[in-house]
Amino acid sequence: MKLLLVLLTIASVALAAVDDVAVNNFKVGILAKDQQPSDENLKTVALFSKLPNELKADASQRLYVSFTVAKKSDNAKVKPHQVFLRFVAQNGEDVVVVVNPDANGNYVYDNVLRTAAKSFRNLSGQFKISLLVGDVTIKNPINWQFANIDAALPVAYEPTPKSQQVHFEPLNEISHIFRQPEKRPSALISDLFTIICLSPLLILVVLWSQVGINFQNAPASPWVPIFHVGLIGIFGIYFMFWVQFDMFVTLKYLAVLGFLTFVAGNRVLRAISESKQKSE
């Protein structure tokens, strides 16, 4: 089945490729940006002939080329698969652009040279312009140089990478905005909070003054002064936490001093209990 399809394709191509083609109504010219094409500003060129004078254009002008492709046998218009304009620079580099037909089968290339320069890879100066026409059904492919053009195309410079750019100019002044201090409460609220925090100690001092402190029943033990010194030290740690220490430093000192005060207090209570048992 595949072999049959291949043979049918070859046969159809062989039968189709029986006609020669010709390029008719070939016109070329340089137009201004908003100028309409007409017989006055376009030159007609016969197939396989060449314009005697060189075309000259700058980047603001348009290159206009129009033509039709028809069979020689019946002059019917055809649309070959490959229709190109080829621009060959003096250094041998070439640029090939596609020419597409309109709905009526007419081929038109109309482009501002500044826009076309993007595809010319920074080429500028003199070019040889050729028309290329080809198709599997065409017996005589066309490669026709019909004109020379001197085009002053703009050179598209490649941008310098940002890492390689050097700017000799003063830099903007760096201004640092410091964080605004947080709004603190009024002095009245601060004093009231301090009094509330110190109120348990004040109440303790008042109650001690009313009840009285009896040092006569204190046992003769070295743990007694250690216990009282530990209590005073704990109050001192609280005070330092208030003015300087953070929570972690406070807990570190409080763990050591609190354990020592706890042991000393336990020993004092045991000594008091033993002295009471002896007195009874």
pTM (whole model) above 0.85: no
In this structure, the number of other CB atoms found within 10 A of the CB of residue 222 comes to 10
pLDDT in the model for residue 275? 76
pLDDT in the model for residue 83? 94
Per-residue pLDDT tens over the stretch 241-270: 888 888 899 999 999 999 999 999 898 888
Residue 190 has pLDDT above 70, yes or no: yes
pLDDT in the model for residue 163? 76
In this structure, the number of other CB atoms found within 10 A of the CB of residue 96 comes to 12
Q: ∠ at Cα 156 (35, 151), nearest 5°? A: 45
From the list 242, 247, 250, 254, the residue with the least C-alpha distance to 193 is 242
Evaluate whether 153 touches 112 at the Cβ level (below 8 Å). no
Task: Assign a CATH topology to domain 18-152.
Answer: Immunoglobulin-like (2.60.40)
pLDDT in the model for residue 17? 52
Strand partners of residue 112: 62
Give the residue-averaged pLDDT of 127-143.
91
pLDDT in the model for residue 8? 45
Residue 14 has pLDDT above 70, yes or no: no
Give the residue-averaged pLDDT of 191-217.
80
pLDDT in the model for residue 216? 65
Indicate the pLDDT class of residue 4, thresholds 50, 70 and 90. very low
Element (H, E) at 232: helix 223-243
How many C-alpha atoms does 10 have within 13 Å on its Cβ side? 6
Indicate the pLDDT class of residue 239, thresholds 50, 70 and 90. confident
Element (H, E) at 11: helix 2-16
Sign (positive or negative) of CA dihedral 235, 240, 241, 247: negative
